[in-house]
Amino acid sequence: MPEIPDLNIFRKNLARRLVGKTLSTMHVIITRRLKTPEAEFKNILEGQTLMGIERTGKELHFLFKNGHRLGLHLMLYGAMHWYEDKNENRFTIAELVFNDGTGLAITDWQKAVILTLDPEPATIPDALDLSSGYLNTALLKISRPIKTVLTDGKTVRGIGNAYVDEILYEAKISPFSEANKIPEDKIEVLTKAIKTVLTNAEYHILKNFPDTITEKERDFLQVHRPKQSKTLAGEEILKAEINKRQTYYTEAQQLFK
């Protein structure tokens, strides 16, 4: 699943190529996850100039001149691809064509991508916009495993399965730790780890794939390494399942119960 580091780069690259252009046509091929009829998307967005693109949590929002937004959640396997003239990408969910002929295909073999017209404003803070002390207060009454808390989108937005393992590894906190049992000083470490891991990952991806709008390799990850038995530092990787999510961690990560 594309997460914050990927989406931040996608946003920049999409904006560089599309902002200021007019959406000529929008065609949704797979409509089963639309909550608004395709005709309404077309009526409201076609002929409108794209003014900007924002990332909010795990979504990208396309902002048009008439004040409306197109929300895009790529879910687990969604991807985006440039094309001109004819879209030949398999498993296409939707096509956006702009006035200069630039085409953007949104694909997903699972057909799970979500397109939203004027998505509701978020009330949960983004992982890169946590205020000081927020987690100290937010975790007080939550007894579930910290990995679940950080990924379910109810406390923090934007963290997925891969990067939560990296964050907890950086903070040296076991993914099985009960959220409300983590001491305040360790929560401060965790808050810093969230920003450090996500910004460092974005830097790495941008350096190696500066123009990408599709998810790239994650060989640089320290502990979330499904095909490896050791971390990049040589520690043994322990594997388990938490809330139906594959989890990767090390013995050195402290458990709080």
Residues of the chain with pLDDT > 70: what percent? 100
Residue 158 has pLDDT above 90, yes or no: yes
| Alpha-carbon separation of residue 94 from 36, 46, 75, 168, 249 (angstroms) | 14, 14, 14, 36, 38
Residue 70: predicted pLDDT: 98
Question: What's the DSSP call for residue 130?
Answer: P
| Domain 134-249 part of CATH 1.10.357.20 | no
- CATH code for the structural domain at 4-117: 3.20.190.10
Q: How far apart are alpha carbons 255 and 183 in whole angstroms? A: 11
Which H or E run contains 105?
Answer: strand 102-107
Averaged pLDDT, 52-73: 98
Compute the distance between CA of residue 89 and CA of residue 91 in angstroms, rounded to an integer: 7
Mean pLDDT of the chain: 96
User: For residue 1, what pLDDT is reported?
Assistant: 83
Sign of torsion over alpha carbons 10, 12, 13, 17 = positive
* pLDDT on residue 217: 80
pTM of the predicted structure, to 2 decimals: 0.93
SS3 of residue 143 by DSSP: coil
Give dist(CA 56, CA 59) in Å, integer. 5
Task: Provide mean pLDDT across the span 163-169.
Answer: 98
Per-residue pLDDT of 92-124, as tens digits, reads 999 999 999 999 999 999 999 999 999 999 999
Q: Which two tokens stand for residue 14?
A: 């999409």
**Distance set, CA 92 to CA 86, 104, 105, 202, 252 (Å):** 12, 10, 6, 27, 44
- Contact 92/29 with Cβ under 8 angstroms? yes
Q: How many Å apart are CA 143 and CA 3, to the nearest integer?
A: 25
Per-residue pLDDT of 223-257, as tens digits, reads 999 999 999 999 999 999 998 899 999 999 999 99
Mean pLDDT to the nearest integer, 42-58 = 98
pLDDT of residue 210: 95
* Domain span(s) for CATH 1.10.8.50 in the chain: 134-249
